[in-house]
Amino acid sequence: MPKGAELVWRSVREQGVDTVFGYPGGAVIPLYDALEGSGVRHILTRHEQGAVFAAEGWARATGRAGVAIATSGPGATNLITGIADARMDSTPLVCITGQVRSNLIGTDAFQETDIFGMTLPITKWSRLVRGVEEIPEVMRRAFEIAQSGRPGPVLVDIPVDCLKAVAGELPPPPSPKTNAAAKAAAKSAAFPGVALSALLREAKRPLALVGAGVKLAGAVAPLRALLDRLQLPAGMTVHGLGAIAPEAGYNLGMVGMHGTRAANTALHETDLLLVFGARLDDRVTGDPARFAPAARIVHFEIDSSQLDRVRPAHLSIPGDLADTLPLCLEAIGRKPLPDWSEWRELACGPERAEMAASALSVPALQLLDELYALLPEDSYIVADVGQHQMWAAQRYRSANPRGFITSGGLGSMGFALPAAIGVQLARPNSKVVCIAGDGGIQMNIQELATIKRCSLPIKLLLVDNKYLGMVRQWQQLFYDRNYAETDLSDNPDFLALARAYGIDGERLQLDPGGPQGLPKNRGEMLRRMLDDPKPRLLLFECAPEANVFPMVPSGAALSEMLLQEQAKS
């Protein structure tokens, strides 16, 4: 008869997961003891936050639940930021924590913490296992719930005695359930095709807004087919990047606080906004009261709690986008649509298509353009949080729908390096570039050791402006340049630090005399980084006071975005 720990690994394998991320401790030793021969590869990160972000990266690259493991007490609490992050960004995640022995629960035992209670508000579902026999069913439900509907994090807390105990008679596995009933319900219910077609036909300035939901539903192909049919201007949230074909003439790029001038202007002008799988958070809408002020909203969304949250939608279409997008295409049919070419040309036209020309002279943008041009289509960019993240998103042009990975909803600094580990393990043949700032990299820099140990050829582009740049930018623009506690001019020698972990790299310094302020040999440096079969650091010493534009100040309408020149004056 198997022990509880063996049942855990067996469940993980049965879910098709071959790689998990974790960090051992007293309450999970039995789990680690049973690891060998389980068929599961365990990646030892150097911090539990590294494990949970790596599991998120793995999940975001594969679309399946990532698994993170931690011991009771501090191990478990170190997972919390990652769990909240997965919740905000709809990432399927199964966290397994060890707990003190069942008979000690509630006694404030050594390393006892109520991780179940602490994570209730940020998990979709959770269980404190009460007996070894429960393990198979709890694990099965954990994966099912993490991956179904709007994906998200779940937590399974297992007392150490349940991991050690030998299971008696196990309850028979429940007959396989599919969500066929739910799917059939969605399909059979009348799709509001007539109402939608009528709205489209009345619209003079329709616009599509695409979010992560489209990718999570695996509905990128029907989305692209629909947009090709409609030929209306379309923008993406940061998590929607890659969903719209980059070369499409109607692609407006990213919307929101640092979105393109074209996308935000069109959002302000549209009279019919079709939202596909986006929850319209405040970084996307600006002042919600002045968001798309002239628009009727049609909202396609799997998570019905997001409908009507910001503004009542004229037409709410809950359900899986993999079902509703084809229904939408079908409803529109082959009948001619209104001629929106004038509006499309205005919205996507040259005078709006780019930011102010001066913004393009920011060397970081130029460097990113050149980096992206060298990357194959199936590459992954994993961006941390800050100015570099927004630059990386603004210039992202790939058609790989899962290719841009970042912490969007929670905005967790320290996400990118461990997440890149998960991505690279899930996609060993793809190029994975981690883009991080000098602040965020130091939040999980210990994961360089994991990269080295696993020989992962991750490329690290470190944008070093010697500031907590994004906060400094706000201080510059809105707090009279009071750069309180954002100075990082005493940063460590990152190249030496990387070398200490066994990772080589080189420094790319600005060259005021060079093209776009960059040295002539930067192409060689980029290629050296990308062609190296080993992990490699490129330390880009960016101008300390370079800013991200356009920028919609917090609480302003999208139409009130600052362009570079305005802010300077």
Partner 1 sequence: MNPPILSQSPAADARLQAPPAGLDPQAPRRHRFEVRYRNEQGALLRLLNAISRRGLDFESVRAEADADAGRLTAIVGANPKHIAQICRDWRVMVDVIEVLQPIDLDREPEQAPRTI
User: Which pair of tokens denotes residue 368?
Assistant: 């990113």
Q: Which is nearer to ligand TPP, 388 or 427 (CB)?
A: 388
**x-or-dash pattern for partner 1, window 121-150, by CB under 8 A?**
x--xxxxx----------------x--xxx
Residue written as tokens 């975001």?
A: 60
Q: Which is nearer to ligand TPP, 344 or 472 (CB)?
A: 472
Closest CA to 324 of 437, 191, 453: 191
Helix (H) or strand (E) segment spanning residue 209: strand 206-210
The CB-of-73 to partner 1 minimum distance in angstroms stands at: 20
**x-or-dash pattern for partner 1, window 283-302, by CB under 8 A?**
-------------------x
553 binds, options partner 1, ligand TPP, none, Cβ within 5 to 8 A by partner type: none
358 contributes a contact to partner 1 by CB under 8 A:
no
The CB-of-413 to partner 1 minimum distance in angstroms stands at: 24
**x-or-dash pattern for partner 1, window 305-344, by CB under 8 A?**
xxxxx--xxxxxxxxx--x---------------------
DSSP codes joined into one string, 54-72: HHHHHHHHHSS-EEEEE-T
211 binds, options ligand TPP, partner 1, none, Cβ within 5 to 8 A by partner type: none
543 contributes a contact to ligand TPP by CB under 6 A:
no
Q: Which is nearer to partner 1, 52 or 317 (CB)?
A: 317
Cα atoms found within 13 Å of the Cα of residue 481, Cβ hemisphere only: 4
* Segment lying near ligand TPP (by CB under 6 A), choices 173-181, 331-339, 384-392, 512-520: 384-392
Report how many residues bind ligand TPP under the rule CB under 6 A.
20
User: Which pair of tokens denotes residue 325?
Assistant: 């997008």
- Which amino acid appears at position 406 of this protein? T
* Segment lying near partner 1 (by CB under 8 A), choices 19-27, 179-187, 274-282, 410-418: 179-187
With the CA atoms of 507, 511, 517 and 518 taken in that order, what torsion angle do they form, in degrees rounded to the nearest 10? Answer: -40
Contact between 457 and 424 under an 8 Å Cβ cutoff? The reply is yes
According to DSSP, the residues that pair with 317 across neighbouring strands are 300
- Which amino acid appears at position 318 of this protein? P
The CB-of-470 to ligand TPP minimum distance in angstroms stands at: 4
Among 470, 526, 538, 557, which residue sits at the site for ligand TPP (rule: CB under 6 A)?
470
Contact between 386 and 469 under an 8 Å Cβ cutoff? The reply is yes
User: Which pair of tokens denotes residue 191?
Assistant: 């799709």
CB neighbours (10 Å) of residue 98? 28
312 binds, options ligand TPP, partner 1, none, Cβ within 5 to 8 A by partner type: partner 1
Edge-to-edge, what's the strand order for the sheet holding 206-210? 251-254, 234-236, 206-210, 272-276, 296-301, 315-318
237 contributes a contact to ligand TPP by CB under 6 A:
no
* Segment lying near ligand TPP (by CB under 6 A), choices 12-20, 178-186, 340-348, 466-474: 466-474
CA distance 361 to 514: 12
Closest CA to 213 of 154, 275, 298: 275
424 contributes a contact to ligand TPP by CB under 6 A:
no
Helix (H) or strand (E) segment spanning residue 235: strand 234-236
471 binds, options ligand TPP, partner 1, none, Cβ within 5 to 8 A by partner type: ligand TPP
Report how many residues bind partner 1 under the rule CB under 8 A.
41
What stretches of 404-444 adopt beta strand conformation (E)?
404-406, 432-437
Q: Which is nearer to ligand TPP, 33 or 282 (CB)?
A: 282
The CB-of-521 to partner 1 minimum distance in angstroms stands at: 53
CA distance 137 to 200: 47
CA distance 197 to 204: 13
Residues that bind ligand TPP (CB under 6 A): 384-388, 411-414, 437-440, 463, 465, 467-471
Residues that bind partner 1 (CB under 8 A): 116-117, 120-121, 124-128, 145, 148-150, 179, 181-182, 185-186, 189-192, 195, 302-309, 312-320, 323
